[in-house]
């Protein structure tokens, strides 16, 4: 099969995996707090999220669509009030968008599968991580699927 045909097939497969729902469907599926963060790009208050201090080994998924986003082995304690990761599971799991809200320029992180707001990514803050990035993610945007054999640390 020609290379451009393979590329086209991969793009078609990725597009069909995307989830699109109406605003009413999202409201019916999500709690009011989940909806405010995931669909309206809100932010939960610092230090209030379920996963800020969690050490459980497993996979963090998008709360809206279940897509695998982050592994616990990339989670680190940044002392910022939200769960922090130094990398998503794969580059195509999230979309990065320029965010000019609040009079500053930041990089917004969205789920590539359902386009839900997850948080923001910051670079050059001096954390001792392999990527020098901090994916600052709202707990309410995630669910944690613990590894079966690992349990909690």
- Residue 112 falls within a domain, yes or no? yes
- Residue 152 falls within a domain, yes or no? no
Distances (CA, A) of 91 to 5, 71, 112: 22, 13, 10
* Share of residues in the chain with pLDDT > 90 (%): 75
Q: Domain span at residue 10?
A: 3-146
pTM above 0.85, yes or no: no
Dump pLDDT digits (tens) for 33-72.
Answer: 999 999 999 999 999 999 999 999 999 999 999 999 999 9
Whether 50 contacts 63, CB under 8 Å: no
- Residue 153 falls within a domain, yes or no? no
**Backbone dihedral region of 97: left (phi > 0), alpha (psi from -120 to 50 degrees) or beta?**
beta
| Domain total in the chain | 1
The residue ranges of the chain whose pLDDT is under 70 are 1-16, 149-153
CATH number of the domain residue 61 falls in? 2.170.150.20
What residues are labeled active site?
136
């Amino acid at each position: 099969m020609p290379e451009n045909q393979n590329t086209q097939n991969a793009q078609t497969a990725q597009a069909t995996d995307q989830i699109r729902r109406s605003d009413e469907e999202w409201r019916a599926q999500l709690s009011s707090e989940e909806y405010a963060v995931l669909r309206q790009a809100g932010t939960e208050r610092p230090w209030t999220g379920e996963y800020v201090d969690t050490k459980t080994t497993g996979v963090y998924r998008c709360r809206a669509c279940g897509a695998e986003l982050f592994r616990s082995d990339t989670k680190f304690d940044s002392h910022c009030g939200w769960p922090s990761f130094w990398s998503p599971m794969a580059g195509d799991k999230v979309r990065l968008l320029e965010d000019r809200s609040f009079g500053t320029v930041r990089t917004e992180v969205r789920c590539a599968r359902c386009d839900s707001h997850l948080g923001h990514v910051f670079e050059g803050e001096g954390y001792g991580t392999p990527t020098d990035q901090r994916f600052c993610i709202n707990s309410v945007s995630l669910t944690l699927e613990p590894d079966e054999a690992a349990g909690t640390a």
